[in-house]
Amino acid sequence: MNTGAWIGIIVASVVVAIIFTAIVTYKIVKKQFKKQLEENPPITEEQIRSMYAQMGRKPSESQIRAIMNNFKRRLKKDN
């Protein structure tokens, strides 16, 4: 094999390695992000109570639980 063939093989190997690394990194980051959202939801029960209070309403516990369950269901659905 001549030098040009070796250079082509090396370049192709580097490109394949970069693509493989990008795919694996994407999968890992996506999994960590989903886990972080499940552990620390973007909204808390206190924030829901505060929003209801700003609207002049007093929410029941079942309303708060329903909203939180809806968020959790959506997170699992997006997985």
53-73: burial string, b at 16+ Cβ within 10 Å, e else? eeeeeebeeeeeeebeeeeee
Q: What is the pTM of this model?
A: 0.60
Token pair 């030098």 in the structure block, residue: 3
Do residues 35 and 48 share a domain? no
Do residues 1 and 36 share a domain? yes
pLDDT at residue 40, rounded to an integer: 82
Number of domains in the chain: 2
DSSP state of 40: S
With a cut of 70, which residues of the chain have pLDDT below it? 78-79
Task: Please report, to the nearest 10 degrees, the dihedral formed by the alpha carbons of residues 19, 77, 39, 70 taken in order.
Answer: 150
pLDDT at residue 76, rounded to an integer: 76
pLDDT at residue 60, rounded to an integer: 92
**Number of helices and strands (H, E) in the chain?**
3, 0
Do residues 18 and 28 share a domain? yes
Structural domain range at position 78: 42-79
Do residues 79 and 47 share a domain? yes
Do residues 19 and 52 share a domain? no
